[in-house]
Structure formats: C-alpha cells, structure tokens
Structure 1
C-alpha cells in the first residue's frame, strides 16, 4: 500500500510542477481565458491521480485526488473548488463500487472544511501567504477524509484504522509541497517582472528610461509625434541650489508628465535634464497643442526646493513621416534647439527649414 501511495505522492508533485509552468507572467490574471484553461487543467489532476489508486477492498480506493480540490478551495473559494471537482466525481461514480457514496460525502465535507478555514484564516493573514504562515490548517483541512468511510462501510473501522494516518500525512505533506512549488514559480515571475521594470525605469523620475525609449522608438508610425523637453537653466539650479534641488525638479517633472498624456502616450527620462514624450496618432496640430499644455502646466509646478525660482521648459516637436523613426528624433532635436535658441520657455514645431541641432545644445 505504501508503495502505491508513494507513487500517487510523486505523481502529484510532478503534475503540480507542470501546472506551475502555466503561470507565464506577472501580475497573474484573475480572470479570462488563461484562468479558465488553468482551472480546466486542475480539474484533470484528480482524475489522473485516481488512475493510480490504492485498492483497500473491492470497489473502495484511496488516492490523493482531494489535494488539488482542497488547495483550489483554500485559494479560490468553495465554488471554484466544487467546479474543479465535478469531472473527478463523475469519473468516480462511473467507476462504481461501495466507495462511491463515502467519496461524495468526503468531497462535501472537505470543501466545507476548506471553505471555513479560508474564511477564518483570511481575516488574520494575507491569502497569498496562507500556505506559509498557516500550515497547521492543512492538517485540519484533510481531517474529514475517510470519516464517511468509517461510518458508511461495514468494515469501515478496520479500513480507517489501517489507512487514515498514512493517507492523512501524505495529503498534508504533498499539499504543502505543491503550494511551495506554485509559490516558488510566482516568486520567480514577480522577481523577473521587477527586474525588467527596474531595467526600463528611471528611479529618480519614475518614468521609462532611455533604454525603454530606444526600444519603443522603432514602433513609431505616422501620424505619431515625438516631443523632446529640456528644463531651462538646469545647470544653474544644480550649481546654486545643489543637486538635491535638481533631483527634486526632475522628480516633479517626472510625476507630472504622465498626468497630461492620453492612454497610449508615454513619457521618458531621455537623459540629464531632458525628457521625451511619444504621442500616438496626434498629428502636428495635436502634438503642438499637447506640447504647449505641458509647457504651461510645468511652469505652475510648486517645487519648494527651487526657493521661488521659475520652472520652465523648452519643447521641440518632431513629426513622424514616411521614413525611419530616428529621423523623427532628429527633427524633435532640431526643433528643441530652435526653441532654446529663440529664448527658451517655448514650443517649437519642426519645419523643413530648421537646421539640425548641434552635437550639444547646452542648458
């Protein structure tokens, strides 16, 4: 019996690992086709486990089929737990035998127990950490299993005494292992997501960084537009008020820019005191209007570290035409240079007569 129970144990761990690979990204969606597919796969796990049972007496078998059902109930609630159990219970009824009724009663008792544990433990601990901080609940969760067999079968007492402890222990241990596998996968996905975000995000301004800008730039298409913004006289702020004041200005601009953009547009810290904005489908008029709104709004920002000094920006607007996106960047840079050359604190729209910007435009 122990050998067959060990096979069921190993099979549960293996299937859980395979299931964990269906989690592909972070954050994990809570609804949609991916979740439906995952729940369908979970509903198949008990059937697979029932194909390798321990036969106690003819028509009565023991296996770890209730492990995925109890875990699902603890993590997602009793309704989901019952839904994923339907295929397994139909299969158990089809197999027939004296153990059908005890199996169905056991299912109901286990789901109810797991639902009660979920409701109680959820009040005192975050549900995502239920398996780590409340592991004794798993001992309680599987306690009702085999009790119906004890009460409903003529020789139930002998079966219960022989099987209860090893089966109970296997269910608890494999549940914790399964949960550990799933949580390990989710931690890895969360870490990868964090690393990718940090690699593409400027920590000071909170905006996407130059690396992300370079990745997004090739995706520009007409009538998109590109803005380049330069904080006027930024070097003087650093020199006279100190770098903390300069950092405060960069942070304030970084937090204000996204609030002025539409869904689909994106702001970047291009480098130093320069920022970039990609405007999707704006055309020249929309891009110029957005640039002017940004210029005016930033001039009203309250940055205490500036000690009353004005905050102004120069903005160059580059259009995306039927050519390489890098040409739009060159146009925006030429327009920015024209805005600064004309006295700063203004918006300049690229026109064909603008000269290319020098290699360094200064501050």
Structure 2
C-alpha cells in the first residue's frame, strides 16, 4: 500500500468545519426543543444562532470554491454502476466483494454518494437554512418577516435535523468500511489516502486522460476557430446545395481525409461510411456495416450515452461534440476516437445524423505505456532505496 494525496487543504477544512457546525447546531437545536438540558435554553439559542451564521458563511465560501475549482462536477448524478454500488452496500460489503468503483481525483464519489451529497446540498441544507431564517425572524415584521404560526416551520426544521443526523451516522459507519477501520478518517485529516499499486496506476492514468480531454475541450471551444469552421461549413453547404441525405455526403472531400465519416438514419441504421471509418472499426468493406444499427459498436453504458446525444440531435437539430469515446471493433478489440455529430435535413426536417471520428487510440495507448513504464521505474527505484536502507 502507498499513500496518494487526494483531499486538498480547503476540502478538509470545509469538511471538518461543516461537520463540527452541524454537530453544534444539532445539539443546541435539540436542547432548544427540550430534548435534554446541557447548557440551558438561553445559551443554546445564542449558540445555535451564532453557529448558523458561521455555517452560512462557510456555505458561501464552499460554493465559490466548488465552482472555481471545478469540484462541483463531483456531484453530477449518474446511473452508471448505481445498481452495482447498491448491491455492494447491502450485500457485497459483508462478504469481502471488491468495490465496484474506484476513487479517482476527478471521480471521488461513487454513484450513491453523488445522489446523497447532491440531495443534501440542493435540498436538505437549503431547507434548513430557509426554515432557520423563518425561525430567527419570526414575529419581527419590522425586519421583513411575519408568520401566523411556527408549527409547520418547526416540523420541517426538525425533520431536516433528523435527516442530517441519519446522514452523519451512516457517513461515520461507512468510513469504517475501508481496508482499515480508520483509514478513511485519517485520509480526510491528512489528505493522503492509502491505495494499492493497481489503484494508484488507475488513478494516475485517469488524471492524464482527464487532462488530455480538458486540453482538447479548451482547443475545440476556441471561439475564433469555431466561428471559422462553422462559416466554412455553411459556405460549403450552400455551394453544394445541401438539402437531403444523398446530397450531404461530400464524398470527394472526405474519402481521402484522416477523419472517418458516417451517416445514420432516424432508425439508427448506418446509411453511409467512408473508407477511414470502416478501417478504424476493422471492417473489410463498408457493405458490412451499411444497414446495421450503431449499437453494435458500443457496450451497454456507452450505447445509452450515445443514444441520448443522437436523440438530442434528431429532436433539436443541434450540433454535438460527443468528446472522446471507446469503440468496439469487428474483431472485438477496442479503440478510441473523438466524435462530432450534426443533423441531416430534408425539406427543413431532421432525417438523420452525420459526423466525423478522429482516431486517438495510438496517442492514448502510447501515453498509458509511457506512464506504466515510469511507474515501473519508480517502483524499481523504491525497491533499491528500501534495500539500501
């Protein structure tokens, strides 16, 4: 096992400060409700109000940090591996089954954690803040709020407190399910988490792939380049008199290019591909793919994502940059390419989807091999250093 730095300083500060404030708010809040007598009603009210204001300031800083660093993307919900993660928690975790997801720098939370944390951030905590303000300014019409009764506010605020309490109990329990009972808590204190060599390799490879995708996205989102490309395509379309699928294939221009061209009908079947496309998919001739559905070149998860974007092109007519994807070739091997899709019109109606793919397999595999080689070299150096010590 080796240690990997995964939790940043502010991330740890925000986590523990939030936990402490929620704990103080719960203890003082339940004392206000006369659940027990610890510091007295008046002091509990004062402590609760001060902690609430500090918590609100922390939320503002946390929102700013999440959006400026891009960490907000960690909370985007996904159904990928959701069922596997649920099955792991209700059964696999007790039988020593492997974890269905990996903790990576751009993917720290599993699918269930994403849903729960997102729910807390956009539902539970906002409800607590709003109901708390209603409590704080109740019967103060001069300051802008006046309610007839606190009954419903009290029920909502207390229910939210019990949800937070249940979350904290479950959260603390799950921190003990790592390879060591206290490893997750220790990682959130120091920022360094223990991982196996295989997990470290996967994380570093993931970091590099994410950086590559980010660089490509920044290049592709360049406004001037985008404007020039769109203007050139519009001009070419007008000159060619584009009005139907048969007219939009631009065979002479694309047959000898390095990009693979494809055209798909509304039924999802391939209408046309160029030589580059079927060679990238390792077919012997385009006739092997024409008339077949595009699902044959994707696994289940990737197909669902691609289907969603193709449906969007067909329904809205917008051009979509699908980014880098994995393809399944005729012989079962895998490759990688970037993919863009645009609508095909016939008499002002979208009747299909066409686009281009650019192969990135060689570059991606070369980068992975260089990374693995560097990791092997570092491992050897570590072994030599250990033996000398």
Q: TM-score range by the shorter chain?
A: under 0.3
Larger radius of gyration: 1
What TM-score do you get using the length of structure 2 for normalisation?
A: 0.22
Q: Which has the higher contact order (CA 8 A, sep 6+)?
A: 1
